[in-house]
Amino acid sequence: MGTPSIPGAAPRRRRWLVALPLLGFMAVAGLFLVRLYGGDASKIPSALIGRPAPQTALPQLEGLIQNGVQVPGLDPAAFKGKVSVVNVWASWCVPCHDEAPLLTELGKDKRLQLVGINYKDSPDNARRFLGRYGNPFGFVGVDGNGRGSIEWGVYGVPETFVVGRAGTILYKMVGPVTKANFETVLKVEIEKALKAGG
């Protein structure tokens, strides 16, 4: 004689087996959401760290004059031999207005050069923005369609990069430069780049 079966045991087992894929999906989705929304957005890793800065030339912002001379656009050759801070900004970007005075202060440091990438902006608004806060940039490249910023791996404006003397991206800050991270993060990364040989 076989063992007596417990009424309802087989249907319960089948329900459990049917629920397994759903539970697995929910676990994976939960992990994805935690990774996407949990944590600090400024710590999003960049695949470009340790790689050469993109060889993307961008045109100058027409009519942007400094010391009587047109400010040049972005020429990738400008990164060789000098520590550079590259800031991707736009006049319509609210945090860009907040970080502008800090970048103007940083622009006074003659050991490095500041490079601006003006993202999907109108030339008039971009010039007004720099007129309002002062232009800390030695180069301003216009990225009207956003393709240049894509090559830099930009998620959204503002973003700031530190590029070493060899033209290699050493650091990326996602989000605005703030009073809190200016001294404790950005300047620390700049000093590391300045101390590094080559």
Q: Which of 30-39, 99-108, 142-151, 154-163 is least confident?
A: 30-39
> Given this model, what pLDDT does residue 41 score?
43
Over residues 96-122, mean pLDDT? 97
What average pLDDT is seen over the chain?
A: 86
* Residue 180, pLDDT above cutoff 60: yes
Over residues 139-149, mean pLDDT? 97
* Residue 11, pLDDT above cutoff 90: no
* Residue 114, pLDDT above cutoff 80: yes
Q: What is the pTM of this model?
A: 0.78
**Sheet of 139-143, strands arranged across:** 139-143, 112-119, 83-89, 159-163, 169-174
> Would you state the structure tokens that stand for residue 82, as one six-digit string?
């000098």
Q: What element of type H or E holds 24?
A: helix 9-37
Pairing mode of beta strands 112-119, 139-143: parallel
Nearest Cα neighbor of 134 from 154, 156, 107 is 107
> Given this model, what pLDDT does residue 81 score?
94
> Given this model, what pLDDT does residue 48 score?
86
Per-residue model confidence as pLDDT tens digits over 52-74: 999 999 999 999 999 999 999 99
Using alpha carbons only, what angle is made at residue 52 by residues 47 and 138, rounded to the nearest 5 degrees?
A: 115
Helix (H, G, I), strand (E, B) or coil at 163: strand
* Residue 186, pLDDT above cutoff 80: yes
Tell me the one-letter amino acid at 51: R
Instruction: Write the CA distances from 158 to 8, 84, 146, 153, integer angstroms.
Output: 61, 16, 13, 12
- What is the distance between the alpha carbons of residues 73 and 87, in angstroms, rounded to a whole number? 13
> Given this model, what pLDDT does residue 138 score?
97
* C-alpha dihedral sign at 57, 190, 185, 109: negative
CB 112, CB 86: distance < 8 Å: no
Nearest Cα neighbor of 185 from 76, 116, 99, 118 is 99
* Residue 88, pLDDT above cutoff 60: yes
* Residue 9, pLDDT above cutoff 60: no
